[in-house]
Structure 1
C-alpha cells in the first residue's frame, strides 16, 4: 500500500513540530510493514529534515494551505491507496480514502477565531465533512477526542488518540551553549518564559496583566520572555507592554529558533508559564519538562492531561492565582525540585516511536478491514 502524507507544513511551529518528530520513525516502521510513502510538499524543505528521502519519495506540491488551488486541484497520484492530512485542509475534490489529524477544535470553540459568521460556518463545514468522510481521525489527547465526539457523535468509532512527543533536541545542553543563545537573543537572567503565538485562546494579554501586577510587587524580579511569536503578533503585544508599563521587562521574540536554541532558552528560564484558555495538546509543556524547567500551567483544556503531576496549575482567568503559584515556585526550593523531578518523569510517558507505531497500526487495521481498497 502506498500512503501519501501532506508534509507541506513541516517548517511551521505547531504542526511542523509534529511532522518533524513523527515522520522519521513513521517512515521506518511503515517500511517494515511493507508500506510505501510519498510525501507531499517542497522537495528541498523536506530533504532538509529527512535527508534520506529519495526523489521518488516526494511529490512536489506547493499549493498554500486552504488555497483554492489546494482545495480544487490535489496532486494526481493514481497509485496512492491512502492519503493522510495533518490539518483539516483535506481537498474538497479529493475522491480517495484519507486519514485526517485534528489537533484541536479551536476553530469551533473559540469565539474570536473566525473573522465573520461566514468564516465560522465555512470552518465548521470543512471539519464536519472531513470527520464524516475520513477513514480514521487522529487526535493528540483524550480531551480532544471527547470534544470531537461531543460535536460529531457519528465519529466515535473511528477516532484514535495518538499523543505528540518531544524532539531529541530537547535535552539538557551545556552552560556554554546556553550563554551563546542568550547573548545572541539579548536576554539576561533571571526570566520567566512563555512559548506561544498570539491568539485569543493563548491568553497572552492575561499573562502581561499578571506579569505587570507581579513586577510591581518585586524589588528584583525576573523579566518575561515570550518566544515563538509571528512577526504580525508584535504590534499588538508591544501596545500591551506599553499599556501595562512593562516595556523594559518584556522581550518579544518573533524569529525562528532552532530546536537546540529553544532547548537552551527553556533550560535557562526560571519557569515556563502556559496561560492558555484552550489547548488540544500543549507541546511546550513537554519541551520544558524535558530539560528540567518547572512548569506553571493553566488548568484548561488538555493541559492537565499532558502535564500530569509535573506542573503547578492556576486558573487562567485569575491573575492572583498565577502570581501565587509564581511566588511559591520561586521561594520554595523543595517544591521547585519536586516539580522538576515529576516533570522529567512525566515526559517519559510520551514517545514519537510509540506514536508512530500506533499510527502504523491504524493504517494496518484500515487495510485489513477492507475500508481501504488496495
Structure 2
C-alpha cells in the first residue's frame, strides 16, 4: 500500500505540524490491522510543496535528531508516480485529481466559511468553481471546520473529520520537584502563570484575553500572562501592541504591560512543552479556530484549560479538566466579507481566570484527568489510525449467499 503525501515540513505552521507528526506515526510499523491490512504494509513518499511565503524558510530543528532524521529520510516520489492514495497537506488547497487511485486534501476552516483570501489563493471566487464535489475528498480536523466547509458549498459526504493528536513522549506532566525546578529556571516561581501559545492575532482572542487579564491582576497582582508567538509566521508583537492600545485604557495598560511576558522566538516542540509543563493555566478565548492544537497539548501536560465554548475545542475538552467561556455565535463583516465567529464573554473569562487562582482543586483534578483523557483518545497514534481507515481504499469482502449450499447430513 503506497501513500504519497504532498505537503509542508520543518516550520511551525499548523498544517506543517500536523503533517510532520502524521508522517512520523505512519513510519511506525504497527502489526495490528487498519481497515483490513496491517499498518506495516504502508510505503510512504513525501513531496515538499512551496510555502505560501518564502520568508517562512527556517533551518531550525523542531524535533530531536532521530525524528528529524526520519522525516528527512522519506523518499520523494517520481514526477508522475502513482500510488493508492495522495494526501495533500498544504495551502492553497488543490482539489484536482492526482495520479493516484484516491486523492484527499487536508482543509480547515476557522471563520465558519471558506474565506475570500483562501479562494483567492486557489484562483477562484467560489469553492464551487473547484472540483471539490467531484474529484478529491476532504480531511478536516473538527466538526466546526466541517460545518464551515459545508456552509461554503462542499457536500457533507465528501468530508471526513479526523482530529489531530499529541505525542505523549513530548507532552506530559512533570513531577512536582521537576516542575518547580523548571519554573525556577524561567523565573516563574513566585507567580501564577496564565499561558497562551500561537499567533497573537485577533481571531486567537488576544483582545478579550488582555481585557480579562487587566481585571484579574487588579485583584491578583502576582499573576503573569505568558504569550508565545511566532514572529516567523505572524507579527505577533505588533498585534499585541495594537490590541492593548484598542481594548485597554491607560490604567489597565499600566497594570498589564509589566506583567506580560512575550517571546516570538522559534522553539522546538520539546521546548514549547516546557512552557505547558511550567505554567498554571492554559487560556484560549479564541474567536475562530480550525482545531486549536495547543489546547490539546496543554491538557496532555496536565494544565487546567480555559477556552471558548461552541467551537472545535468542544470536540476534545471535558469538564473535569476544562472550563468553557460563554460565547455567542456571531456574523461579522470584515472588509466587506461576512464571517462567523464565537464571541467570548470577557467578563465570564475574567471570572474563570480568577476562579483558577482561588480554587487549587481545579488544577489538581486537571493534572490527572487531562493527560488520561488525551492518552486514551487523542494521541497521534489514534489520529493516524483514524486517518488511514478513512483514506485507504480497500475491497470489502463479498457476502456469501448461504442459500446456494446444500446441508451436509451426517
- TM-score, normalised to structure 1, is 0.79
Q: Write out per-residue CA displacement over residues 3-44 of structure 1, whole angstroms, 9 at most, x where no aligned residue.
A: 2212323422422321232212223359846332211229x9
Deviations along 1:55-83, whole A, 9 cap, x unmatched? 67135xxxxxxxxxxxxxxx723344532
1:236/1:9 CA distance change after superposition, 3 Å: same
In 2, Cα distance between equivalents of 1:7 and 1:153 = 22
Which of 200, 203, 217 aligns to 2:202? It is 200
Which residue does 1:41 correspond to in 2? 48
Distance 1:223 1:131 in 2: 46
Number of aligned positions between the proteins: 346
SS at match of 2:3: strand
Asked if 2 retains the 8 angstrom alpha-carbon contact of 1:99 and 1:134, the reply is no
Whether the aligned pair in 2 keeps the contact of 1:88 and 1:101 (CA below 8 Å) is no
Residue equivalent to 1:85:
88
Question: 1:272 touches 1:288 (CA, 8 Å); kept in 2?
Answer: yes
Matched, 1:298 2:326: no
Structure 2 spans left out of the alignment, 5+ residues: 31-36, 50-58, 327-342, 397-410
Query: Deviation of residue 285 (structure 1)?
Result: 1.5
- Structure 1 residue aligned with 2:281, among 271, 275, 287? 271
Q: 2:268 matched to 1:261?
A: no
Q: Does 1:353 align with 2:381?
A: yes
Superposition map of 1:148-159 within 5 A: 148-154=149-155, 156-159=156-159
Whether contact under 8 Å (2:165, 2:380) holds in the other structure is yes
Alpha carbons of 1:7 and 1:114: their partners in 2 closer, same or farther (altered >3 Å)?
closer
Q: Secondary structure at the match of 1:223?
A: strand
Larger Rg, first or second structure (1 or 2): 2
Q: Which has the larger helix fraction?
A: 1
For structure 1, the residue ranges without an aligned partner over 5 or more in a row are 60-74, 370-374
Please say if 1:3 is aligned against 2:3.
yes
Asked whether the 8 Å contact 2:111–2:148 carries over to 1, the reply is no
Cα deviation code 1:174-205 (max 9, x no counterpart): 66765676577665632110112122211112
Distance 1:56 1:256 in 2: 24
Alignment of 1:1-374 (within 5 A): 1-28=1-28, 32=39, 34-41=41-48, 49-52=67-70, 57-58=75-76, 76-91=79-94, 95-97=98-100, 98-106=103-111, 108=113, 114=117, 119=120, 122=123, 125=126, 129=130, 131-154=132-155, 156-167=156-167, 168-173=169-174, 189-218=191-220, 220-230=221-231, 232-241=235-244, 244-245=253-254, 246-309=256-319, 310-315=321-326, 316-347=343-374, 348-365=376-393, 368=395
Q: Compare 324-333 and 10-19 and name the one that shifted more.
A: 10-19
Instruction: Please list the CA deviations of residues 66-102 of structure 1 after superposition, one character each: whole Å capped at 9, or x if unmatched.
Output: xxxxxxxxx7233445321123434587653521011
Is the CA contact 2:25–2:381 (under 8 Å) kept in the aligned structure 1? yes
Identify which range, 92-101 or 353-362, moves more after superposition: 92-101
Quick check: 1:271–1:293 contact (8 Å CA) kept in 2?
Answer: yes
